[in-house]
Chains A and B, each alone.
Chain A
Amino acid sequence: MNDGVLTSQGPTSKQASLALSFWAMIAVLMTVYIGGSMNGLFDSMQIDVHFRDVSMFGIIAILSLMAIQIGATAYAVLPVATFAGVVLLCVHQPEPLLRYLILAAALFAIGMYGMVTSRNAVRVLMAIELMLNAVNINLVAFSRYCDTHATGQVFAIFILTVAAAEAAVGLGIVLAIYRNESTVDMERFNSLKW
C-alpha cells in the first residue's frame, strides 16, 4: 500500500518489469493448479478441496504482499491478485450460485475499501454505488437459483430507485459543501466534528 509510487510520468521500467513478472507468476501458478486439479493431479494429497483452494488463496496473498514490499505498484498487483483469488475460491464450488455470491462479496469489499480510504467526496459516492451494485448481484442470483417468483428482482428494482435518489441528494450535498468550503477533501470537512 505504497501511496505515491504511481507518478504522472507513469511507472518506471523496474516497476513495470516487476508487475509483469508478478502477472506471469500468477498466471503460471493458476494454470498449473486449476489444470492439475481438473486432471486429478492433486487427488493423491488427501486434503479437502476447499482447504486446498483457501491455502492457494493465502499463497497468492503472501506473494502479492512480497511483490509490493519489493517495489511493484499496488495498483498493478492488487487487481490481478484479487481476480486470481476470486477464481480460486469460485472454481470448486458445487453450486453456480456461490460463484456469483463470492464475486459480489469481492466487489463489496473493494467498494468498502474505497469508501473508507478515499479523500474525494465524489469518489466516496462512487464507491457506495459499487457496493449497492454488489448487493444487486446477490439479489438477482438468489432470484435466479432459489426462487420461482422473481422476488429478488423486484427488490433489485427498489435498490435501483434508492440508489438514484441517494446519488442525486449526495451530489447535491457535495456541491453545497463545495460552494461553502471550496474543497471536496473528506479530511477537511470538520465543521461537524467536536
Chain B
Amino acid sequence: MDQLLSLQGWVNANADSYETFFFYILAALAIPLAYGVIFDRQIIRSGFLLIGVFGAISGLFLLLQAQFLAMAQIMIYAVGITLTVVIALMLTNPKLEQEKSIAVPANQYIGFVTAFVLFVTVYLSLLSESFPVIAEKVAPQAVLMQIGIALTTNYALPFEFASVLLLAALIGAIVMAKNESGLPDELEYSVEEDDIVTPKIPESVA
C-alpha cells in the first residue's frame, strides 16, 4: 500500500512530463494518419484511417481534461460520421476501384502553397500573441457540471437552435438522397420540339 501511495505521488509529481510524452505520441499518430486520409488511393481505406485520426484527437481531449468531449468525439465522429462517409463511399464507388489520380497536378502546387502559407501565418500570429494562462485547474467533475449549467442557462437558445438544425439536416439529407422514381424521366420543358423525332418507316418495308 505504501508502495502504491508513493507510486501515485511520483505520478502526480511527474504529471507534466507524462502529458508532454503522450502529446508527442498522439501527434505522431495523428499527423501521418491525416496524411493517409488525404493521400490513400484506396479511398475506402482513407475512410477507415479517418477513425484513427479522430481516435488520436479524442486522446488529446483526454490529455486536456475533457473526458465528456473525448467520449462524444468517439461516439459522434469516429462511429457516426465515419459510418456515413464509408456508406457514401460504397454507394458512389460500388466496385471499390483504386483512383487513378487523387489530385490534379496543377492543384497540388496551389494547395501546397496555400496550406504552407496558412500554417506559417497561424504560427507567427501564435508567437506574437501572449495568452492569459491561468494557474488553477478545474476538476473534471466540475467541468461536466459547468457544461451542463452553461447549456441550460447561458447557451440555452443556441442549444435549442442546434436541435432545430439537426432536425432540418435530417429531413434535408433524406430529401436530397431519396431516389426520385416517381418523377418522369424527362421533364416537359427539358424536351424541345425539334428533339422529338417521329420514327421513320424504312422504305423497303413500305
Contact = CB atoms under 8 A, between A and B. Distances in A.
B162 A158 contact: yes
A59 B28 CA distance: 20
Given A125-B85, A133-B53, A176 B177 contact: yes
Contacts of B174: 172
Contact of A172 (B27, B102, B177): B177
Contacts of A108: 118-119, 122
Contacts of A111: 34
A63 interface: no
A114 to B, nearest CB: 4
Interface residues of B, number: 93
B124 to A, nearest CB: 10
Most chain B CB within a 10 A radius of its CB, from A98, A113, A130, A168: A113
A112 interface: yes
B155 A123 contact: no
Interface string B84-107: 110011011100001101111101
A106 B119 contact: yes
B85 A126 contact: yes
B9 interface: no
Interface residues of A, number: 88
Contacts of B24: 87, 90
Contacts of A50: 127
A109 interface: yes
A34 B80 CA distance: 40
A86 B30 CA distance: 12
Interface in A82-98: 82-83, 86-87, 89-90, 95-98
B102 A83 contact: no
Given A158-B158, A167-B85, A175-B92, A106 B57 contact: no
A105 B109 CA distance: 19
Given A4-B101, A82-B31, A126 B177 contact: no
B133 A105 contact: no
A105 B126 contact: yes
A122 B89 contact: yes
Contact of B150 (A96, A129, A150, A171): A150
A18 interface: no
Contact of A95 (B27, B107, B133): B133
Contact of A154 (B54, B92, B137, B151): B151
B83 to A, nearest CB: 10
A144 B53 contact: no
Given A119-B102, A160-B73, A160-B76, A146 B133 contact: yes
Contacts of B23: 96, 99-100, 103
Nearest to B162: A161
7 contacts: A82-B35, A116-B107, A126-B85, A146-B131, A146-B132, A165-B168, A178-B92
Interface of B: 16, 19-20, 23-24, 27-28, 30-32, 34-39, 41, 43, 46-47, 50, 53-54, 57, 60-61, 64-66, 68-69, 72-73, 76-77, 80-81, 84-85, 88-89, 91-93, 98-99, 101-105, 107-112, 114-116, 118-119, 122-123, 126-127, 131-134, 136-138, 143, 146-147, 150-151, 155, 158, 162, 165-166, 168-170, 172-177, 179
